[in-house]
Structure 1
């Protein structure tokens, strides 16, 4: 006979993990982020896109195309690059120049409304880590059939 997991202790531990990932900055791609902070998710995505664009003009061209098609994160990243070039007095690379003309002429469609996958990426990483830790620490099963069995995913993480 297997020992039943201590669900109350698992829930307390889940709350501790949520607090840790909400409040503790972690370095991710050289950027300090809190895994459960939506604003940090967006900042990470925009920063990674900007780094990619700066490192390769072909990649910059692709990101500009995404921005021109209405992908809000790409548009934000490319707008920031345009502003950074202007602040430094540097000439715009041709993909950014084309985008800046389109932005000035208001030819860029409005971004898609609602939550972006980038808003949830780090949250999903944190949830995966928390579930794995709860499964390991409390001997929970990753999934279960029926409603009476404690599982890693059955512990409230929000």
Structure 2
């Protein structure tokens, strides 16, 4: 078996840069997966754990709700069906009621909507972004770090590129004898 060499020096340099960037990214992904990188001071917490991600999002929402505009945003997210925003708003309502403190206007209005018998509360049933929030942050930081270190430009594939990549993947699996129906479309 012979090794095909790059046709130009520029192509060879690009191949080396690609290999170095890929090795660097894989190292960071392993470190995140193996919980060697703490997030916001929480050593031993998983970037991929659903409960940990939800806890972190709730903590961020509580922090956001300290300002009047943040409280309005929290209540609007809850009205839009974001489950953790609703849960956080309800926790805040309970805390204000327990302390017998006056609620901020946005939270008071949301509380009134919750108890209004004419309104039906609906929850979204799809997978929620807050379940993957920490994972998405880890991926974004790794991509940003790789792009910065190797002076690359981040690129989001167009739908056509995604379709073409999926077609190439199916062709490769067919040529290896795999059933194309068993390959998930990404």
Flag whether TM exceeds 0.5 (same fold): yes
Deviations 1:49-93 (A, max 9, x none): 22111122x331232123123222221121111122123221211
TM-score by length of 1: 0.61
Measure how far apart 1:19 and its partner are. Answer: 2.6
Distance across 1 between alignment mates of 2:136 and 2:104: 35
Q: Provide structure 2 residue ranges, at least 5 long, that are not aligned to the other structure.
A: 6-11, 20-26, 147-164, 173-186
What CA RMSD, in Å, does the superposition of the two structures yield over aligned residues?
4.0
SS in 1 for 2:40: strand
Q: How many residues align structurally?
A: 136
Q: Secondary structure of 2:66's match?
A: helix
Unaligned runs of 5+ in 1: 6-12, 135-144, 149-158
2:59 alignment partner in structure 1: 47
Change in Cα spacing, 1:68 to 1:15, as seen in structure 2 (3 Å) is closer
| 2:79 aligned to which of 48, 68, 72 | 68
Tell me the distance in 1 between the aligned counterparts of 2:76 and 2:140.
33
Q: 1:114 aligns with which of 82, 105, 126?
A: 126
Give the one of 76, 92, 96 matched to 1:81: 92
Tell me which of 101, 115, 120 is aligned to 1:104. 115
Contact 1:53 1:59 in 2 (8 A): yes
**Which structure has the larger Rg?**
2
